[in-house]
A and B are shown apart, each in its own frame.
Chain A
Amino acid sequence: MSILLMAPALLLLLAVFLWPIVHYAWLSLQAQSVFTGLKPVPVGLANWERLLGDGRFWQDAVQTLRFALVSVGLELLLGLAIALLLHQSWRGRGLVRSLTLLPWALPTTVMALGWRWILNDPNGPINGFLELLGLPSLPFLASTQLAWLAVVLADTWKTTPFVALLLLAGMQMIPADLYEAFALEGGRPMQGLLRITLPLLRPYIFIALVFRLAQALGVFDLVTVLTGGGPASSTESLALYAYLNAMRFLDFGYSATLMLGTFVLLLAAALALVLAQRWRRASA
């Protein structure tokens, strides 16, 4: 009977999550593009060979990884700081907490449009501010070196509140008497942070890390609207590249291969994380 209750949900889940992976596996072994009249034609491992030699794919992988690591790292640091600030109780804390959630609640594509204006060279407010300081304006979205930083900024702004809330939840599980006992033994607040808070937050930090890393490696919305992958594909993410292959180049077989390839890289990253966690725990 209880299986019956779970069945509809499980069916939908299988259809939405499992079937696409299976379908991709099949599709990656086909060529389905304009050249085949949009019909699938089995080509064995040709798509995979192409993937391995595809410079753009590997370049995008590096870019995506770089973006993910920097972005998530920043979010953890900022999130921790914000969580510390919100952890103590003071008047108006509830309202401030809700207001800090605003960036997270807004749709990515909506704010991305806003960021295009804020980062605009030379009329956006950031460059206006630099101008005030007598510094030259920076072509955030037009420079291949700076554009990915712009993406990092927009992403950090949006998702830090989520990380902060997660860490805050973790902090609130720590019993207050731990700090009191520590203070009685002469410990200073800064030490309390290092010795008590951080170690006890480790599981929450890990969860935030895994969650955010997975999401960041699949970044798509932000890059599509903010930079379109440019300039010169410098901010192109793996997901965007796969999307372009499907929707613009109409090369479905290769697109499926790219997505599976990204999935494999994701699994590798997850595995690396889990192993690092185990190794760390073993050596602790």
Chain B
Amino acid sequence: MSSQPCHRSGSRLRISLVILLLLWSLAPMLWQLYSSLRTPESLLAGLAGLGGGWTLINYTAVLQANPPFWRYLLNSSVVGALSTLLTLALAIPCAYSLSRRGGLLKVVVGGGLLAAAVFPYVLLFLALLQVARQLGLANNLLALCLPYAGLSLPLAVLLLQAAFADMPVELEENAILERFTLWQRLRWILLPLMAPSVVSTGLLVFLFSWNEFPIALTWLSRSELQTLAPAMARIAGSSVFTVPFGPFAAATVLGSLPLLALLLIFQRQIVAGLTQGAIKG
């Protein structure tokens, strides 16, 4: 956009807006961090109790609960990793195939995927739960990756299809002439060149499975199997403390740390994945 006529006041305005933005985005989390380190009394005292009252008992309470908090993080990580692998394994061939053809099938499938990507999947939980119970998949952590992969497929296929379409056709044609099989073309030529898109897509799938709530809630009733999202709901519904907010805050902080780390390490890829999804959508 054209530059401001009065540069200094423009940038001062911008700085204050940026600070406002950062406050809005980070304050709630920072408050959790603060609260998690405070004793219950100091939390109740409001601003008056600002002096002393620092403690780690909230964290010990949460980490020594039954089951301990890190268990949920572990469960979420396992399910997340498995879902991501399964989704990619299914989405890559499907996206490849879709990108190489045209015609009616592509339009129909593409449209269907788009509709599925937008659909609020929570409405599906009952049917999926009944299937799980019938097949004996309830309380099976690994089985959770099946619906997760299914729910992540639309977005994954759409993103990867666009990535495949960006690959120069002649590159693959030359590989075909050199007698590369489909698997060899994917493994040695296409996927390495598409690596950023694959990583972005994988990250988005991983984030989804960490965030997923209704299916995990209904499929996992045993507390030591629960992933992070339903565990938080359980914590919200029960507490031995009269003032539960310290432990609540500790749980929030611990629950946020892994994803925070992921976001900071992979910020470029995550942003790229979202942006690509927006453009291709």
Q: Across the interface, do A17 and B248 meet the contact criterion of CB distance under 8 Å? A: no
Cα A108 to Cα B230 with chains together (Å): 10
Cα A189 to Cα B128 with chains together (Å): 52
- B175 contacts A by Cβ under 8 Å: no
Q: Across the interface, do A15 and B270 meet the contact criterion of CB distance under 8 Å? A: no
Stretch of A3-11, A69-77, A143-151 contacting B (4+ beta carbons < 8 Å): A3-11
Stretch of B166-174, B193-201, B211-219 contacting A (4+ beta carbons < 8 Å): B211-219
Q: Across the interface, do B4 and A189 meet the contact criterion of CB distance under 8 Å? A: yes
Closest A residue to B24 by beta carbon equals A157
- A211 contacts B by Cβ under 8 Å: yes
Hey, what's the 0/1 contact readout for B107-128 against A, CB within 8 Å counting as 1?
0010011001011111111111
- B65 contacts A by Cβ under 8 Å: no
For the complex formed, measure the closest distance between the CB of A37 and the CB atoms of chain B, giving whole angstroms: 16
- B9 contacts A by Cβ under 8 Å: no
Known: A221-B213, A243-B214. A114 touches B248 (CB 8 A): yes
- A207 contacts B by Cβ under 8 Å: yes
Hey, what's the 0/1 contact readout for A112-129 against B, CB within 8 Å counting as 1?
111111101001010010
Hey, what's the 0/1 contact readout for B144-162 against A, CB within 8 Å counting as 1?
0011011101100100000
Closest B residue to A22 by beta carbon equals B127
Cα A126 to Cα B116 with chains together (Å): 39
Q: Across the interface, do B25 and A103 meet the contact criterion of CB distance under 8 Å? A: yes
Q: Across the interface, do A98 and B264 meet the contact criterion of CB distance under 8 Å? A: yes
- B43 contacts A by Cβ under 8 Å: yes
Task: Please give, as numbers and ranges, the residues of chain B lying within 8 Å of A6 by CB-CB distance.
Answer: 93-94, 97-98, 109
Q: Across the interface, do B230 and A204 meet the contact criterion of CB distance under 8 Å? A: no
Task: Please give, as numbers and ranges, the residues of chain A lying within 8 Å of B109 by CB-CB distance.
Answer: 6, 10
How many chain-B residues does the 8 Å CB contact rule pick out? 89
Closest A residue to B248 by beta carbon equals A113
Q: Across the interface, do A173 and B4 meet the contact criterion of CB distance under 8 Å? A: no
Closest A residue to B252 by beta carbon equals A114
Q: Across the interface, do A106 and B259 meet the contact criterion of CB distance under 8 Å? A: yes
Task: Please give, as numbers and ranges, the residues of chain A lying within 8 Å of B2 by CB-CB distance.
Answer: 179-180, 182-183, 189, 192
Known: A220-B213, A247-B218. A85 touches B278 (CB 8 A): no
Cα A9 to Cα B151 with chains together (Å): 11
Per the 8 Å Cβ criterion, residues 199-228 of B in contact with A are 207, 210-211, 213-214, 218, 228
Cα A201 to Cα B184 with chains together (Å): 41
Known: A165-B278, A179-B2, A207-B278. A107 touches B248 (CB 8 A): no
Task: Please give, as numbers and ranges, the residues of chain B lying within 8 Å of A115 by CB-CB distance.
Answer: 28
Cα A2 to Cα B123 with chains together (Å): 32
B29, B93, B230: the one within 8 Å of A9 (CB): B93
Known: A12-B149, A102-B263. A207 touches B281 (CB 8 A): yes
- B18 contacts A by Cβ under 8 Å: yes
Q: Across the interface, do B25 and A166 meet the contact criterion of CB distance under 8 Å? A: no
Known: A108-B213, A113-B236, A220-B214. A82 touches B21 (CB 8 A): yes
- B187 contacts A by Cβ under 8 Å: no
Task: Please give, as numbers and ranges, the residues of chain A lying within 8 Å of B44 by CB-CB distance.
Answer: 123
Cα A263 to Cα B24 with chains together (Å): 34
Task: Please give, as numbers and ranges, the residues of chain A lying within 8 Å of B264 by CB-CB distance.
Answer: 98
For the complex formed, measure the closest distance between the CB of B222 and the CB atoms of chain A, giving whole angstroms: 16
For the complex formed, measure the closest distance between the CB of B255 and the CB atoms of chain A, giving whole angstroms: 4
For the complex formed, measure the closest distance between the CB of A274 and the CB atoms of chain B, giving whole angstroms: 12
- A138 contacts B by Cβ under 8 Å: no
Q: Across the interface, do B116 and A173 meet the contact criterion of CB distance under 8 Å? A: no
Stretch of A46-54, A55-63, A252-260, A276-284 contacting B (4+ beta carbons < 8 Å): A252-260
Q: Across the interface, do B263 and A98 meet the contact criterion of CB distance under 8 Å? A: yes
- B240 contacts A by Cβ under 8 Å: no
- B165 contacts A by Cβ under 8 Å: no
For the complex formed, measure the closest distance between the CB of B29 and the CB atoms of chain A, giving whole angstroms: 7
- The interface of chain B, by Cβ under 8 A from chain A, is 1-2, 4, 11, 14, 17-18, 21-22, 24-26, 28-29, 31-32, 35, 43-44, 46-47, 90-91, 93-94, 96-98, 100-101, 109, 112-113, 116, 118-130, 146-147, 149-151, 153-154, 157, 207, 210-211, 213-214, 218, 228-230, 232-233, 235-236, 245, 248-249, 251-252, 255-256, 259-260, 262-264, 267-268, 270-271, 274-275, 278-279, 281
Contacts A/B (CB < 8 Å), 27 sampled: A6-B93, A9-B153, A9-B157, A12-B90, A13-B112, A13-B113, A16-B124, A17-B116, A99-B22, A101-B271, A103-B25, A105-B260, A111-B28, A115-B28, A123-B43, A161-B25, A165-B274, A169-B278, A173-B279, A179-B2, A192-B2, A207-B278, A218-B120, A220-B122, A242-B123, A242-B126, A256-B126
